[in-house]
Amino acid sequence: MLDDLATVDWSALTHAYGAADDVPDLLRDLAGGSGKALSELYGNIWHQGTVYEATAYAVPFLIRVLEAPGADPGGVLGLLASIADGTSYMDVHRGLLPRSQRDSGEIVEQMDAELGWVAAAGRAVAEGMPVYLRLLATHPDEDVRAATAHLLGGVGAGAARQAGLRQAAGGDPSDLVRACAVLALAAVDEPVAGSLSDPEPLPRLAAAIVTANIRADDDPEPVPEPIAQIIERDAPDCLTRIQRLPGGVSNGLSWVIAAVARHPRLQIRLLTAWLRHPGRPIREAAAYAVTGPLHTWRPAAAALVPALAAAQRDSSEAVRTITLRHLAGAGQAAAGAADLLWAAVEKGPVHSQGTVFADDRPVGASALVSLCLLRDPRADRFLAALLRERPLRTAGLDDAIEAIGPWATACRSVIVDAVEAAEAGAVRARLIRAAGRAGADPAGLVPVLRRHVAEHPHSASELLGDLGPAAVAALPELIAMRADDDPARKRIAARALWRITGEVDDLLTVLRDQIREHGALETLAEVGPAAAGLAELLPPMFDGDDEWRAVHAAIAYWHLTGAAGPVVPVLVRYVACVPWGVLAVRALAAIGPAAQEAIPVLRAHAGSPYRAVGWRWGGSDGLVAEDEGWLAVCHYAIDRIQGGQPDSGWPDVLVPEAFRQP
């Protein structure tokens, strides 16, 4: 069956890890049913969605392996389906390259070669059509027939293919196979309405999803009621069968919600109904599935909060916990459930055990962060009480501390002592920054910063500079740091000395020497016209590959010269929900009417019903709040550029921005 493997010069071909000379042995092992070989082929001739030069050469042998006596045809069919759906690495990742390289001859040549591999692999998979149709019609295992139908959905049209799938959709004894055939037919717009009356729920569900998705994306009419009813009724009834669908479906209801992503109102209806379902497994699956619309469709949070709040009375602890975490991550819409969040904070725990990702912290900690973002005074008092505890424990509180600001009056009164009590390192640095945001009294704060400036030169010196003349007592420490060999410390100390004394010449000398550093450019903008002599050094940075540098240079140029013309196009280019994009929007708002060019881009961001988060703050808990903050600053900038109401100041919202730019 594989005797001619040696006719291919595998060592001259490449896959994800270099030379493909290991492929022949893997194919032989695969023919014997080796799961390890299948796993390795999933990592080299196909890797995270991309295919390679050797892929098309391996496919004919994979097709033969399908009929090997000891092989796992279902696994091989899955690999072939992945290959048929594969793409080029460079085609996917070119946007991540520096701008100057994206259209270079080398990159274009590489992408053309890779797209050729993609096309060759797709053609090679399609060559197996006779084998696939035979398996679909005759193989005794329903999972193999289902995997075959799934594969056929990705290999294009053709009379024989369509006929085989139609026969399977209407006549296969397995509901799983019939459903897969319906989904495969839909891939080439084959009508599937007949399956809406299938005797089993899974094929009906598949046909209803397909029928719903035939509608145009901009169709203002809701999905027809009979179709919505089928999905609402049948998805719970065939939950375990959905999880048998090819492609690794782990949560059947999440799969359904993703399948109707073009219809967010339908998603809300389905989730609201399923969260009230009498079956506990259905409610638990629905609770997990909420993530999809909550994190993608802006109106979803307000629409889902009532159902999430009602779920706090559920008999299932899993449902209560999952939906409470969603409530904590619902942004401003969570205000309607603030008492439920407060109950979770009081119940606790809010401290994590060791270092964990934000999404894995106790739900009480997530609720506390949510209340902090809502500026709830109960959260302020609770967090202040925690900051008074000795020994000080902050595990799990990082994002709550980052949310401290002028609103947190109770924290303001205790945070200086917390800085003193904290261990040196990230915790104390975080508390130092929070003390600055909260507006702690300089009389108590400056002595503490002086004591710890050597251990925390960045955060402490930056805050001393922010305090200005009130930090005059720290001049000895800052003068000593100014003599440091480290360029960043030298610059931060020079900035603080300028802010305290008003003497700018020494700072300008430091900034000239470090003019390409992000922090230097940020400080240059702060200095303003007094640094106008350095303005000529900035325009060459506008078109560079470094987003931070380009944005900071443009902002600094405007602050130094007042000239908006050269700056606005640079800032518009970087408008996005990422830290440098927020800086760009803030600068555009400050420029005002001279930034009219930015209005269409800002309106596109502000007017979309879909979230556009490019920088996840605090794990998924902060995704909605971050998007709401982005929306608020875009509207603020539009208003300032159009000369709207008197400036009310930069919105007090969560946005994706770094503490200080790198």
Tell me: the pLDDT tens digits for 50-100?
Answer: 999 999 999 999 999 999 999 999 999 999 999 999 999 888 888 888 888
Distance CA 411, CA 402 (A): 12
Amino acid occupying residue 575:
V
**Distance (Å) of CA 503 to CA 192, 496, 497, 526:** 77, 10, 8, 14
Query: What percent helix, strand, coil does the chain show, rounded to 5?
Result: 70, 0, 30
Residue 339 has pLDDT above 90, yes or no: yes
DSSP strand pairing (46-47 vs 18-19): unpaired
Residue 346 has pLDDT above 60, yes or no: yes
Q: Of residues 235 and 623, which shows the higher confidence score?
A: 235
Residue 350 has pLDDT above 60, yes or no: yes
pLDDT computed for residue 554 by the predictor: 99
pLDDT computed for residue 504 by the predictor: 98
pLDDT computed for residue 356 by the predictor: 60
Tell me the pLDDT band of 659, cut-offs 50, 70 and 90: very low
Q: Kindly state the percentage of the chain with pLDDT values over 70.
A: 96
Exposed/middle/buried for 478, CB within 10 Å: 0-12, 13-18, 19+?
Answer: buried
pLDDT digits 0-9 by tens, 174-196: 999 999 999 999 988 888 999 99
In this structure, the chain runs to a length of 662
DSSP strand pairing (46-47 vs 14-15): unpaired
Residue 658 has pLDDT above 80, yes or no: no
Mean pLDDT of the chain: 94
Residue 384 has pLDDT above 70, yes or no: yes
Distance CA 159, CA 167 (A): 12
pLDDT computed for residue 355 by the predictor: 59
Least confident range from 209-218, 322-331, 458-467, 471-480: namely 209-218
Q: Which residues contact 255 (CB under 8 A, 6 or more apart)?
A: 242, 245, 249
Mean pLDDT over 536-551 rounds to 96
Residue 583 has pLDDT above 70, yes or no: yes
Residue 218 has pLDDT above 80, yes or no: no
Question: pTM of the predicted model, to two decimals?
Answer: 0.92
- φ, ψ dihedrals at 653, nearest 5°: -140, 165
Least confident range from 216-230, 241-255, 312-326, 544-558: namely 216-230
pLDDT computed for residue 96 by the predictor: 80
pLDDT computed for residue 55 by the predictor: 98
pLDDT computed for residue 274 by the predictor: 99
The answer to whether the CB of 237 falls within 8 A of the CB of 281 is no
pLDDT computed for residue 662 by the predictor: 33
Residue 216 has pLDDT above 70, yes or no: no
**Distance (Å) of CA 235 to CA 30, 415, 470, 587:** 35, 52, 65, 49
CA dihedral angle for residue 87, residue 91, residue 95, residue 97, rounded to 10 degrees: 110
pLDDT digits 0-9 by tens, 560-578: 999 999 999 999 999 999 9
Classified as helix, coil or strand, 80 is helix
Q: Kindly state the percentage of the chain with pLDDT values over 90.
A: 87
